[in-house]
A and B are shown apart, each in its own frame.
Chain A
Amino acid sequence: MNNSLAGSLSYRAWYMWRRNVDVSLVTWKTNVLPPLLEPVLYILAFGFGLGAYVQQISYAGRAWDYLAFMAPGMVAVGVMFHSVFDTMYGAFVRLRYQKTFDALITTPLSPEDILAGEILSGATKGLFAGAAILLVVTLFGLAQYPSSLLILPLSALAGLLFASFGLYFAALAPYIDNLNLPVFLFINPMFLFSGTFFPLDGLPAWVRLLAELLPLTHLVNITRAATLGLLSPSLGWDLLYLVLLTPAVAWLAIAKMKARLIK
C-alpha cells in the first residue's frame, strides 16, 4: 500500500468536499444560519452594549470607536468557529455515528482523499462565515475597501488551519464528550485572548507571550488591519506564522486520523 501522503492524495478529495457541501446545502437552515447570526449577536451585545461605556479604544496609535475595533475580531472568530467545529464535531459524527468514512474508504477514494476533503470543506465553511460576517461589518459601515478584500483569501487560509485543528482533535477524541477539552483549553481561550475584544498591549507580558502563540491572534491582527485600512509590512510575520503552521497541522491531522481509520 502506498503510504506516502502525496502518492495517495488525488483529485478525488474534491468528491469528499462536494459531498459535505451538498449536505450543507440540504441542511443549511438548521446548520448554517444560526451559527452565522452568532457573531452578529456579539457585535450587537459588545459593540453597542459595551461600546456605550467604552467609547474610545486606543489601537495602533489611534483612538477608535469600540465597535470599529471589535467588529473585525468577530470576522476572525467566525472563520475559526465555523471551520474548527465543522471538522471537530462534524468529522467525529461522520466517523463514529454516520460511518461515512467507512462507506467512503471502500470506494476509490483513499484515506488521504477523504481527510483532505474534510479539511477543504471545513475551510469552505470558514471562508463562507468570514465573507458573510464581513458583509455585515460592511453594512455597519465599519470596513475599509479595497484592503478588506484581503480578508477573503485570508479566511480561506485560516479556514484550512482551523479545520485541520478540528480534524486533529476529532482524531484524538475517543468519545464525543472528550471534544469539550479542546474547546475549553484551546478554542475558548483563543476566542477571548487573541485581541478579539481588547488590545493585547494592556496585558501582563507573560499573557501577551502566550497570546502571541495562539493562531487566532495572528488572524485577528491581519483581519483588523485589513478592515481598518492599516495594512503594514510587519503583518508579514503574522501571515508567515499562519502559512507555516497550516500545512504542519493539516499533515498531523491527516496522519492521526488515518491511523485511527486504518489499524
Chain B
Amino acid sequence: MTDPVVKATALRKCYGDLCAVDGVDFEIGRGECFGLLGPNGAGKTTTVKMLTCALPVTGGDLTVEGLSVKEDPRAIKYLLGVCPQEVNLDPDFSVVKNLVVYSRYYDIPRAEAEKRAAELIARFHLHDKLERPVEDLSGGMKKRLLLARALINRPRLLVLDEPTTGLDPQSRRQIWQEVRDMKKNGLTTLLTTHYIEEAELLCDRLVIMDNGRIIEQGTPRQLIEKHLPGGGNLEDVFLKLTGKHLRDE
C-alpha cells in the first residue's frame, strides 16, 4: 500500500508470557473504513489502545501518518479522533460545555471551538438538550455526542470503538449514516464492532482477530466468497473462523 495512514508491523502487547496482541501486521489506507473484528479477548481493544497511545507497545511498531506511537505519542494524538467504547463524557457539563472543554485539549481557541461545537450539535441533532447536564441524555444521544466530540479537532484518523453497542436500531442507523457521510468526505476510519452486519455494511476492508493474531483479512465480499462459496453473510464467516464457543475476557 502506498501512503498508508496507519501501519502496524509485528505489533505485540504482552503481560509477562501472556500476549494480548501477538504479532499483528496491517495497514489502513487513506480514506478507507477499516474494520477490526474478533470475539471478546481477541486483542481488538488492546490494539486500539496502543493506537490511541493509551498503552505502550511491547514489540514491533505502530505508526500513524509515519509517526511512531513509541516516539511521538503527543503528535499522533493531535491527529486522532477517538469515539470510545464506554461513555466517558463529563457528566456535570452540558452538551456544549463537553465539546468546548474537550476542544481546549487540542489548543483550539475558544471562539473557534464554539463555532465547531455549534456545527457538530446541528449535524448530530443534539440541540434538544443543549443546556442540560449530559447525565440526562439518552444512550443514543450520548453516543452521538461522543462521536461529535471525536470530530472537534478535525481528525485525520477517526477511531470508532464499538460505536453502536447498546443502541436502538434508529440510533444505530443514524450513526451508520454519519460514518458513511464521513467516508464520502474522505475521512480514514478504524472501526471495531461486535455487530458483524455493521462491519459488512460500513467497512471497505477488515481483519478478523482471535487470540491476539489476525486470522483472516480482506473485503467483506472476498471473505464471504472465500469461506462460504455457497452463500451466506459475514457473520457466518466470522463464526466459521472463530468457532461458536463462548469467550470470557
Contacts and interface: CB of A to CB of B under 8 A. Distances in A.
A262 B55 contact: yes
A109 interface: yes
A259 to B, nearest CB: 11
B93 A102 contact: no
B201 interface: no
A103 B54 CA distance: 10
A180 interface: no
A27 interface: yes
Contacts of A103: 84, 88-89, 102
Contacts of B55: 262-263
Interface string A3-25: 00000000010010011001100
A23 B90 contact: yes
A27 to B, nearest CB: 6
Contact of B105 (A26, A27, A99, A108): A108
A23 B92 contact: yes
A110 interface: yes
B183 interface: no
B88 A108 contact: no
A188 interface: no
Interface stretch (B74-82, B204-212, B215-223): B74-82
A107 interface: yes
Contact of A23 (B80, B87, B93, B104): B93
B54 A106 contact: yes
Contacts of A109: 105
Interface in A51-72: none
Interface residues of B, number: 31
Contacts of B71: 1
Nearest to B82: A106
Contact of A110 (B70, B74, B82): B74
Interface residues of A, number: 24
Interface in A209-263: 262-263
Interface string B83-100: 010111111110001000
B53 interface: yes
Contacts of B101: 18-19, 22
Contacts of B4: none
B77 A1 contact: no
Contacts of A18: 101, 104
B56 interface: yes
A15 B105 contact: yes
A100 interface: yes
Contact of A108 (B54, B56, B78): B78
B89 to A, nearest CB: 8
A12 B55 CA distance: 20
A108 B93 contact: no
Contact of B52 (A1, A98, A106): A106
Given A106-B82, A107-B77, A107-B105, A1 B90 contact: no
A167 to B, nearest CB: 19
Given A1-B56, A26-B93, A15 B73 contact: no
A105 B77 CA distance: 9
Given A22-B101, A106-B82, A100 B88 contact: yes
A26 B52 CA distance: 30
A108 B91 contact: no
A219 to B, nearest CB: 30
Contacts of A102: 54, 84, 86, 88
Interface string B60-76: 00000000011101100
26 contacts: A1-B53, A2-B73, A15-B104, A18-B101, A22-B97, A23-B93, A26-B92, A98-B91, A99-B87, A100-B90, A102-B86, A103-B84, A104-B105, A105-B52, A106-B54, A106-B84, A107-B77, A107-B102, A107-B105, A107-B106, A108-B74, A108-B77, A108-B78, A110-B73, A110-B74, A263-B55
Q: 9 shortest A-B CB distances, which residue pairs?
A: A99-B88, A107-B105, A103-B88, A106-B52, A106-B82, A105-B54, A108-B77, A23-B92, A15-B104
